Structure 1
Amino acid sequence: MTDALPDTAPGFDQPIAVLKHCHDRIRKQLDTLQRLPEHLARHGADAQARQATAAVVKYFDKAAPLHHADEEENLVPMLTTVAVGDDAATLQALVPGILLDHDAMDAMWQTLHEQLSAIINNAGSFLDAAVVSAFAERYLTHMATEEAHIAPMAKRLFSTAQMLTLGNAMQQRRGLGPATGDAVAALRKDYGHATLDAADVASDPFDQFNAWFEQALAAQVNEPNAMSVATVDGDGKPTSRIVLIKQYDQRGFTWYSNFDSQKGRQLAANPHAALLFFWPELERQVRIEGTVEYTSDAESDRYFHSRPVKSRLAAIASAQSTPIASRAALEQNFAAVEAQYGETPPRPAHWGGFRLVPHRIEFWQGRRSRFHDRIVYVRDSDGNWSTQRLQP
């Protein structure tokens, strides 16, 4: 049921050809997958079926997610930074559907994976032909769109250096070329997407942040709401982590977490913190410094009860940042909490919102030759904001 002869793959110095080669391999696996239901109906989960199934599962479990990541994290963002005019309009029209396809295909694969695993383990012989058909059709249409529009655009717009950057990223994702020593030092991107002038920014930094955040959303930046939160411990040693912002307004920038976590304990002792948003697709970052306070119980309750049930249960089950013997023990804690509260878990007293009230906000725009634009807002003792340009 499978082709035993491996086909020769192009090198990562030809990243678009590598992506096309991945498509060809996907088509081969889809062909095998589509023939499986009939084979299973005739012969059951025999050795041939199990061998073919194992090959399909191996590919879609390992190679396909890497291919999706190549597109989502490298190819599409790189195209977004260089496409203008009709090319930009084409991306705007196609990229949402491409990303939606990835999510839909991942969901269908989870259904198929369970059935295929049973076949591999000789524990069943059922494979839903309708889901197989929908999965294959979605993939084939998806790949045809990319080959007709996205790949030709990349070939036309990317420079030799950009092709090398894309190929290196794809190679690193597969663990085939560790970026160490001179290779790291040689990594360099010259910025040139936009400019930032003090005469053009809003007088209020929250208005300026909102404008940039809306532009990040429109550009389909990967997780535009992700920010680094830096805190310090009692010895003055800094730590940082990525969290998701849930609200911003004139009061400050809000996220939610466990008060007893490492950051929660550090903020209780020293409420000074710094946030960082980095939107590489737009060559922008926003640095925010200030003092952290707790949100009201009403705000924490409102957000907590807007979360999915399993996320609420996890907030109760996990003593965040503290050691635990094993993943199994963690799962047992979750199961116990789920059994206790079911669909209506209450907000625990140790969980709620943090709001950073800023006194300094810097907007950084990448420029060519590392001659970047930096505009900083500083709040004075009267609560008013002043702006100034910083040297790069």
Structure 2
Amino acid sequence: MTSLLPDSAPGFDQPIAVLKHCHDKIRKQLNTLNSLLTHLPVHGTDAAARQAAQAVQKYFNQAAPLHHADEEQDLLPMLAASTGGSDAETLRRLAPEILAQHEQMDLDWHIINSQLDKIANGSSAYLSSADVARFCAAYQAHMESEEGVIAPMAKRIFSQAQMQLLGEAMKRRRNIGPAAAQAGGIALADLRLDYGRASLSEEDTLGEPVAQFAKWFSEAMKAQVNEPNAMSVATVGNDGRPSSRIVLIKQYDESGFTWYTNYESQKGRQLAQNPYAALLFFWPELERQVRIEGRVERTAPEESDKYYYSRPVKSQLAAIASRQSQPIASRAEMEANYAAVEAASGGKPQRPAHWGGYRLKPERVEFWQGRQSRFHDRIVYTLQADGSWRKERIQP
């Protein structure tokens, strides 16, 4: 069902050819998925089926995310910085589509991966033909778009030096090269990057921190920063011990910064004890950080309803089925809980009372711009008693 012979791959001195080679390997794995659909009803989870499931999982869990990162973090930003005229217009149209396709394919893969888990361990021979068809069709259309437009554009526009930069970035992502081969790795103290892409002065910043955040967030989006909406949320409970985690911001405006979660999670329990938190956005591609501190409150139920019912149904079900941060015996028990909730919901899950939004109302906001020799720019806004903001520079 799958070939065990290694493919002859181009070198990273030909990065566009490497990306095309990745597409060829994706097509082979998609063929394997389709072969499994006809194999399983006849042979069940025999050795060939288990081996095929494991091979598909290995590729899409390990190699495919690296391929997506090559495009999102290097290829597309390099093209955006190099194109003009009709090429720039084509890229402005296609790039958001490519990023959205990556996100949707990741979601579709999550569904198929859970089915392949059971095939790989021999506990189930079920593989949804509809899920596989949707996943394969999305990938085929995605690859045709990239091979028909993006790859030819890069080959036409990029200089040899740019090709080398792209190839080196792809090698680093895969830990390929002399540094990766050194015994013992690299000392943490030696991992030092000198910044120097931009500067930040008091005159550069707007009068209100939310307006300044909106400006920087827009620039992060245009620069195609990887997940610019990802932020660290740090909370502290009654025991005085801080904890942090990454969540996705869903809204920001003058009223604050909003995300959604389980109120009974660790962060929910800590916020009930101490309603203050700190947020951190880090956009390494722009050498920028934004730190936001303030008081947190729950969003109104109608706001939580509006967002909850805008989510995919499977995400709605997961919010009901999971007792976030609570121990559970096994993945199988989690999936059984999900199946029970799905069966009981009748396809129309209702937002549980323990799930909803939090809004941090900012009291202190810092904008950090990396500079050379660790002499960084830091501009801080502090909320005053009369509701105005004081803006000042602080030392790095």
Q: TM-score, normalised by structure 2?
A: 0.75
1:239 corresponds in structure 2 to: 243
What is the CA–CA distance in structure 2 between the aligned matches of 1:383 and 1:214, rounded to whole Å?
Answer: 25
Structure 2 unaligned segments of length 5 or more: list them.
none
2:70 corresponds in structure 1 to: 71
Q: Which stretch of structure 1 is more off in the superposition, 314-323 or 89-98?
A: 89-98
What is the CA–CA distance in structure 2 between the aligned matches of 1:281 and 1:289, rounded to whole Å?
Answer: 23
Residue 110 of structure 1 deviates from its aligned partner by: 9.1
Residues 334 and 109 of structure 1: CA distance in aligned 2, closer, same or farther (over 3 Å): closer
2:263 corresponds in structure 1 to: 259
Residue 334 of structure 1 deviates from its aligned partner by: 1.9
Q: 2:201 aligns with which of 197, 201, 208?
A: 197
Give CA deviations for 1:121-175 in whole Å, capped at 9, x if unaligned.
Answer: 9x89x999x9878865653552353432235656545497775444212237xxx
Q: 1:377 aligns with which of 372, 375, 381?
A: 381
Residue 9 of structure 1 deviates from its aligned partner by: 4.1
Residues 329 and 31 of structure 1: CA distance in aligned 2, closer, same or farther (over 3 Å): closer
Letter of the 1:248 counterpart = Y
Residue 92 of structure 1 deviates from its aligned partner by: 3.5
Residue 285 of structure 1 deviates from its aligned partner by: 1.4
What is the CA–CA distance in structure 2 between the aligned matches of 1:387 and 1:342, rounded to whole Å?
Answer: 53
Residue 304 of structure 1 deviates from its aligned partner by: 2.4
Give CA deviations for 1:239-275 in whole Å, capped at 9, x if unaligned.
Answer: 1001111221222111121111100111111112100
> Residues 97-246 of structure 1 correspond to what in structure 2 (within 5 A)?
97-100=97-100, 102=102, 136=140, 139-150=143-154, 156=160, 158=162, 164-171=168-175, 182=186, 184-246=188-250
| Correspondence 1:248 to 2:247 | no
What is the CA–CA distance in structure 1 between the aligned matches of 2:333 and 2:303, rounded to whole Å?
Answer: 32
Residue 77 of structure 1 deviates from its aligned partner by: 6.5
Residues 294 and 179 of structure 1: CA distance in aligned 2, closer, same or farther (over 3 Å): farther
Structure 1 unaligned segments of length 5 or more: list them.
none
Q: 2:300 aligns with which of 287, 296, 308?
A: 296
What is the CA–CA distance in structure 1 between the aligned matches of 2:18 and 2:267, rounded to whole Å?
Answer: 42
Give me the identity figure in percent.
52
Is the CA contact (8 Å cut-off) linking 1:256 and 1:353 kept in structure 2?
yes
2:319 corresponds in structure 1 to: 315
Structure with the greater alpha carbon radius of gyration: 1
Letter of the 1:99 counterpart = L
Residue 338 of structure 1 deviates from its aligned partner by: 2.3
Is the CA contact (8 Å cut-off) linking 2:366 and 2:378 kept in structure 1?
yes
Is the CA contact (8 Å cut-off) linking 1:68 and 1:102 kept in structure 2?
no
What is the CA–CA distance in structure 1 between the aligned matches of 2:160 and 2:61, rounded to whole Å?
Answer: 30
Residue 183 of structure 1 deviates from its aligned partner by: 5.2
Residue 324 of structure 1 deviates from its aligned partner by: 0.7
Letter of the 1:68 counterpart = H
What is the CA–CA distance in structure 1 between the aligned matches of 2:252 and 2:273, rounded to whole Å?
Answer: 24
Residue 296 of structure 1 deviates from its aligned partner by: 2.1
1:387 corresponds in structure 2 to: 391
1:96 corresponds in structure 2 to: 96
What is the CA–CA distance in structure 1 between the aligned matches of 2:74 and 2:197, rounded to whole Å?
Answer: 17
Q: TM-score, normalised by structure 1?
A: 0.76
SS in 1 for 2:327: coil
Is the CA contact (8 Å cut-off) linking 1:112 and 1:127 kept in structure 2?
no
- Count of residues in correspondence between the two structures: 379
1:22 corresponds in structure 2 to: 22
Residues 84 and 147 of structure 1: CA distance in aligned 2, closer, same or farther (over 3 Å): closer
| Correspondence 1:347 to 2:351 | yes
Residue 72 of structure 1 deviates from its aligned partner by: 3.8
